[in-house]
Chains A and B, each alone.
Chain A
């Protein structure tokens, strides 16, 4: 039925099967939309956030998807600026993943603020000293860049390509994509960093506060490093899932292995600086504010296990796997490493958002618990449904993977 829209020379499932798949996923999206609408209409009392937990699952999700979406800008940077040619075979998919991540982050932010209609105040009444203002500017600009990067791929659609003006526009856009890749890299470095800076500057929250360089706390640099280490792993992970679902080889092993190696080295660099930062924070920064390292982990649910899980199990182990040739070449180990790497960055974002707020600072204050409401869960899970739908549509109707034909001869 939709044969005319499917790229030439590739096989796709029947239209009926595709509709069924999209409908099933849409149910999750609708459930999320119901939760989101309730929050918009009735207010944030629909969530389980409170005055102790002003930030909840949504902010963790926001920070996590932005970190995981870093594969887009970083792959673009490596492909167009550094000139690693093999990555042209995965850069389209990385851009789609980035587009999904950033559009979801913006949508969730629109849900998370108490007065969404005043969202533009952040641009109009900007406080230039606020890290959040910088985040808002850079994310919005970078999302525009992602749209521009996605556009040439959309125009590659078999039917759209037949329109000469669009074809020409797409061709010219593609020629200057390096400019957008460079702009995207610049913007991404800043907003990934500012997201870290948002927490590092909280000098009255000793768990998050960090010293730093000039106006940037160390978390600024650590967030950039962790994002560019985890982003490529996330791209590999989603490529692997897509290959499993479509039962096709879509990207050659050498491309995946190269991305895995880059991810591994970046993860190693990140771990080195993260551990150095933790040691300095535990021995100098926190004690100067009257806290010992163990004060942050004792007598509350977020114990030392979370720290070990983040740095050890989801940091050191994937780094070892990704840095060894045998680890990268064994598919199971590679996927496990990518999964752990991504989990590590999600835990890191959770720690900086939720754990920072959960830990009482006043000595006589108490620890309160927070568990998201169904509206929060539904709208968060809807991000996954949205991602599946965008990937499914893109995969079906656009030539996302340049190596697909070669790897799957008719």
Chain B
């Protein structure tokens, strides 16, 4: 029974949009944690790499009735449906992107990707980024790189990995302590850890003991583009009807 449960671990996120202030800490934490390089001139956001991107939406009504909501958007780690895997997984011609059946995490093998960008075309969330430039870190910044995360080379696609290296670290720690399972608080991605408003909750969506399990069942929970059948593992919470309506077509 325990083994069967283990097989169906599905890591996911619940982001409370009513708590999110749009401060961008999640984006900064993600960039620092995952060795995301940056360009000398970052004004063109269309070729900048932001695994975690915060969108700003409004209710479209004039002042004083204007309301704003910020939507942090990591990779959705889509589960797929009706026999389809995640949209990006089945299209990759070189099997450079895959879904771990044990965790549900959609991975990217940078050294196997040859940069055809078909996965980017398949992803409706724009969660995949191409390295248009050689990765460069100015001055002494190379010393601050995370040794657990490999930097990516020019010409390959990359995306949010739910800080997969943190899962590896937690597993190693559990192994050394003679445990088979890792605790809920042992594996948390950098964005969730850094959020000052505690808007991001992370855990196993299939485990009734994890917070995300309860949160995703909230009547205010929704996912982006539900009707496409991508079956994302990132849920959002908002008590505002216009926010929930803005998430799907």
Q: Residues on A close to B: CB < 8 A?
A: 43-45, 49-52, 54-55, 112-116, 118-119, 121-122, 124-127, 129-133, 136, 198, 201-206, 288-291, 295, 356-357, 361-365, 368
Contacts and interface: CB of A to CB of B under 8 A. Distances in A.
B115 interface: yes
The 10 closest A-B pairs by CB, nearest first: A114-B115, A114-B155, A290-B249, A54-B117, A50-B46, A361-B124, A118-B114, A54-B120, A133-B93, A204-B87
Contacts of A132: 91, 93, 116, 118
B87 to A, nearest CB: 4
Given A114-B115, A132-B91, A203 B126 contact: no
B128 interface: yes
B122 A51 contact: no
Given A205-B124, A363-B248, A363-B249, A43 B225 contact: no
B228 A203 contact: yes
Contacts of A291: 249
B229 interface: yes
A131 B92 CA distance: 9
A125 to B, nearest CB: 4
B172 to A, nearest CB: 28
A202 B119 CA distance: 10
Q: Which of B92, B93, B130, B133 has the most CB of A within 10 A?
A: B93
Given A133-B93, A205-B121, A52 B155 contact: no
A44 B130 contact: yes
Nearest to B80: A203
A243 to B, nearest CB: 39
Given A55-B117, A132-B116, A362-B225, A45 B92 contact: no
A51 B120 contact: yes
Contacts, number: 158
B91 to A, nearest CB: 5
Given A132-B116, A202-B87, A54 B121 contact: yes
Contact of B114 (A121, A129, A362): A121
Nearest to A124: B94
B211 to A, nearest CB: 26
A125 B94 CA distance: 5
A263 to B, nearest CB: 31
Contacts of B125: 361-362
B91 A114 contact: no
B154 A43 contact: yes
Contacts of A290: 227-228, 248-249
Given A115-B156, A204-B230, A290-B249, A45 B133 contact: yes
Given A118-B114, A289-B249, A368-B46, A127 B121 contact: no
Contacts of A206: 228
A130 B91 contact: yes
A191 B183 CA distance: 49
Contacts of A52: 46, 126
A45 to B, nearest CB: 4
Nearest to A118: B114
A340 B224 CA distance: 41
Interface string B214-249: 000000000011011110000000000000001111
B47 interface: yes
A44 B132 contact: yes
B95 A125 contact: yes
Contact of A203 (B71, B84, B116, B246): B84
A204 to B, nearest CB: 4
A364 B245 CA distance: 11
Given A43-B154, A202-B121, A204-B78, 9 more contacts: A114-B155, A118-B112, A121-B96, A122-B116, A125-B95, A127-B94, A202-B122, A203-B87, A356-B121
B89 to A, nearest CB: 8
A51 B46 contact: yes
B28 interface: no
Nearest to A292: B249
Contacts of A116: 114
10 contacts: A50-B132, A51-B46, A51-B120, A115-B114, A202-B121, A204-B78, A205-B124, A289-B227, A289-B249, A364-B57
Q: Which of A49, A51, A127, A129 has the most CB of B within 10 A?
A: A51
B142 interface: no
A114 B120 contact: no
A14 to B, nearest CB: 46
A188 B3 CA distance: 48
A33 to B, nearest CB: 20
Contacts of B87: 202-205
A122 B57 CA distance: 40
